[in-house]
Amino acid sequence: MSALFTPFALDGLSLPNRIVIAPMCQYSAVDGNAQDWHLIHLGNLALSGAGLLVIEATGVEPEGRITPACLGLWSDANEAALGRVVEGVRKYSDMPLAIQLGHAGRKASSALPWQGGQLLAPEAGGWPTQGPSALPHLPHEPAPRAIDADSLVRIREAFAAAARRAARIGIDCIELHGAHGYLLHQFLSPLSNQRDDAYGGSLENRMRFPLEVFDAVRAAFPAGKPVGMRISATDWVEGGWDLEQSVVLAQALKARGCAFMHVSTGGLSPQQKLVPGPGYQLPFAVRIRQETGMPTIAVGLITEPEQAEEIVARGQADLVGVARCMLYDPRWPWHAAARLGARLTAAPQYWRCLPREHAQLFSGAQVGGR
């Protein structure tokens, strides 16, 4: 029995296996509205046999988008457009669907990656950014506007409103984006948060706004449907956010009903010093799981089925997130099951595709013809 292909439950959501398709920005929305690209992209991934599909980082207000082409869920039009995509995917796949809700903060208003990815000036379609403190992401960039008390309330409610919209269109799970240098991470890190009010200074104060956002989203999303958070467990910068603080945050989230921690690293500071390699972020997920007992998703150059199998079998993490390798190989779970001697379900339209040596890969497959 392959550990990677055993079922797992997040609150009331049952996953058929431990493979999570991590959120991947597509930069293909118009005014936050999902397009046909999203239907094609997500529909393709929903036929992969993974246990959970997480829709890309989705802005809770226009100013919170990473780029002008990022997905949003702040308006009726956004809700209708994404609802059409979800409905289309559901016609052919029962894979559980999650969505990552986020706000880019001072890293908003960026050009598309294939157009350089740098901060956009207003004349190029950009907008003024905001953050915990008036500290730019890069030294040469204009400083963001420090978020005032009224804006904290507005943004918190925007997260809750997006959660309600997600519930209405049938999303099964929410992941809050508290990683990679975006707004919730900016509040957590002392490198980006130098406020002198109740939301800055001590660890307790720096955690306050992310925890308030979690509470608001948890209250807005139906009971039994999981809400978790993705974090960067370290800034990879001395004096920044680190693993010890991440453990404290995870414990506070667990006490509030957080269903899982999706453990990544970095993204807050250009001064970060890291050396990527296979599984380089895994030790952070291991520590958080050990200290809190919370379900964890491990990510970070986990590309081989045997590597993912070992992580789950050894109890290092409960779930394994794969992303870019899924774009390269959208049938990665099929190939993983074949290599690990497991079985999984697939759409009947694909039952005839299997090579003879893997003829038993699909559960319940029956192929006939005349």
Q: Residue 251 in contact with residue 2, Cβ under 8 Å? A: no
Given 27, 182, 280, 350, the catalytic residue: 182
Q: Residue 66 in contact with residue 25, Cβ under 8 Å? A: yes
Which residues lie below 8 Å from residue 46, measured CB to CB, with a gap of 6+?
53, 89, 92, 93, 95, 97
CA distances from 313 to 5, 241, 293 (A): 10, 30, 16
CA distance 111 to 66: 8
Residue entry with tokens 């890969």: 361
Q: Residue 301 in contact with residue 279, Cβ under 8 Å? A: yes
Collapse the DSSP code of 272 into the 3-class scheme (helix H, G, I; strand E, B; otherwise coil) and give the result: coil
CA distance 174 to 217: 9
Determine whether 27 is exposed, middle or buried from the number of CB atoms within 10 Å of its CB (0-12, 13-18, 19+): buried
The tokens of 276 are what? Answer: 């990527």
Give the total residue count for the chain.
Answer: 370
- Residue 328 is a catalytic residue: no
Q: Rg for the chain (alpha carbons), in Å?
A: 20
Helices (H), the chain: 36-45, 76-90, 149-168, 183-188, 203-220, 243-255, 282-292, 305-313, 324-328, 332-340
Active site residues: 182
